[in-house]
């Protein structure tokens, strides 16, 4: 078969799209302004990973930061690698390694510009670190941010608050964190007693928060963290892990944070315990509770680790299983 020009263009465009989240930052910087390379790794399309949608009168913008990869081995504490591979195949995901995409939300409601988590900032793998470029491409400036609300203290959620040189990224923003999360990660006795694998997490929380400790607002579950955004107890993944309910007019969005890692895997298998879940039993209870609520109320949801734009709905899929249905994607 001879490949005509149209076929070649289509394949080129698909290749570029497929490379969007996988290509290193260096490749992004070198990406041509238009078109796709004829040979070599597909170039990502710069500054296309922001997606804006309405929740009532609130405007929500999903900002993609990139992706990290990890081996399948050791990722699920209570399932075999073959079981994980079978679920990945069922979801049309790569089966040779596990991809973890990162997507934060910017919420404009109640006259405020609010970030829910920050991405990895300058501390991610080469396949992440796109957040600031995408944030600016979406028309925002870090100096405009009124409030940064943190779901929990893992590095992929707080890394963007402070640069390597120690300066704050959102200079005039109020920083709000879950009180239970602060009490755990900023406790010196707990840091000293932590196993070696957990020590970098404690050190990172101190790097980010110690310089502003007196200015950080600690919120409780059930409180509004900004007008129209309520903190929801989602403990388990970490002691203070928090989901958010955004309500505006008749619109509602349940921001699941890390209640699941990729929902294409964990909505199907809500009893699976990812290695990152600090209290696997509590995380499992939270996962069932919030997935069940989202399915029963047909609420729109967003996940931090779902494929971009990381928003959709939760459908029941047999007994005790769910699946994520992507929201209708439209640039309009």
According to the binding rule CB under 5 A, does residue 277 interact with Zn ion?
no
Contacts of 326 (CB under 8 A, 6+ apart): 311, 312
Compute the distance between CA of residue 103 and CA of residue 256 in angstroms, rounded to an integer.
12
Between 65 and 258, CB nearer to Zn ion:
258
Cβ neighbours around 68 below 10 Å, total: 18
According to the binding rule CB under 5 A, does residue 65 interact with Zn ion?
no
Which token pair is 212? 């502003």
Segment interacting with Zn ion (CB under 5 A) among 17-25, 59-67, 149-157, 293-301: 149-157
**Shortest approach of Zn ion to residue 121 CB, angstroms?**
14
According to the binding rule CB under 5 A, does residue 156 interact with Zn ion?
yes
**Shortest approach of Zn ion to residue 157 CB, angstroms?**
6
**Shortest approach of Zn ion to residue 258 CB, angstroms?**
4
Compute the distance between CA of residue 274 and CA of residue 42 in angstroms, rounded to an integer.
31
**Shortest approach of Zn ion to residue 193 CB, angstroms?**
24
Whether 64 contacts 308, CB under 8 Å? yes
According to the binding rule CB under 5 A, does residue 258 interact with Zn ion?
yes
Segment interacting with Zn ion (CB under 5 A) among 81-89, 204-212, 253-261, 322-330: 253-261
Segment interacting with Zn ion (CB under 5 A) among 214-222, 227-235, 255-263, 282-290: 255-263
**Shortest approach of Zn ion to residue 276 CB, angstroms?**
7
Between 237 and 268, CB nearer to Zn ion:
237
Between 156 and 277, CB nearer to Zn ion:
156
According to the binding rule CB under 5 A, does residue 117 interact with Zn ion?
no
Compute the distance between CA of residue 234 and CA of residue 157 in angstroms, rounded to an integer.
15
Q: In this structure, is the dihedral angle defined by the CA atoms of residues 112, 325, 92 and 97, taken in order, positive or negative?
A: positive
Cβ neighbours around 197 below 10 Å, total: 8
Between 248 and 259, CB nearer to Zn ion:
259
Tell me the DSSP string of 126-163.
TTB--HHHHHHHTT--GGG--EEE-S---HHHHGGGB-
Q: How many residues bind Zn ion (CB under 5 A)?
A: 2
Residue ranges in contact with Zn ion by CB under 5 A: 156, 258
């Amino acid at each position: 078969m001879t490949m005509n020009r149209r076929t070649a263009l289509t394949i080129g465009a698909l290749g570029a799209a497929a490379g969007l989240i996988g290509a290193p930052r260096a490749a992004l910087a070198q990406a041509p302004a238009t078109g796709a390379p004829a040979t070599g790794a597909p170039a990502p399309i710069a500054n296309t990973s922001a997606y804006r949608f309405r929740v009532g009168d609130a405007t929500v913008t999903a900002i993609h930061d990139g992706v990290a990869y990890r081996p399948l081995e050791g990722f699920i504490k209570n399932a075999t690698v073959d079981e994980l591979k079978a679920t990945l195949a069922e979801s049309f995901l790569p089966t040779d390694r596990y991809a973890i995409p990162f997507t934060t939300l910017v919420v404009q409601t109640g006259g405020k510009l609010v970030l829910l988590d920050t991405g990895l900032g300058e501390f991610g793998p080469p396949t992440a670190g796109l957040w600031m470029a995408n944030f600016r491409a979406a028309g925002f400036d870090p100096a405009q941010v009124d409030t940064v609300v943190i779901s929990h203290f893992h590095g992929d959620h707080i890394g963007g608050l402070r640069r390597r040189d120690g300066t704050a990224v959102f200079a005039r923003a109020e920083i709000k964190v879950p009180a239970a999360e602060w009490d755990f990660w900023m406790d010196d006795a707990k840091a000293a007693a932590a196993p070696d694998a957990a020590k970098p997490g404690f050190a990172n929380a101190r790097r980010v928060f110690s310089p502003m400790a007196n200015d950080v607002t600690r919120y409780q579950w059930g409180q509004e963290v900004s007008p129209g955004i309520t903190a929801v107890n989602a403990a388990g993944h970490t002691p203070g892990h928090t989901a958010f309910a955004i309500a505006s007019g008749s619109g509602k969005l349940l921001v699941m944070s890390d209640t699941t890692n990729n929902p294409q895997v964990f909505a199907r298998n809500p009893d699976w315990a990812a290695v990152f879940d600090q209290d696997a039993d509590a995380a499992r209870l939270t996962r069932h509770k919030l997935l069940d609520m989202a399915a029963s109320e047909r609420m729109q949801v967003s996940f931090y680790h779902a494929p971009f734009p990381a928003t959709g709905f939760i459908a029941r899929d047999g007994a005790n299983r769910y699946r994520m249905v992507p929201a209708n994607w439209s640039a309009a």
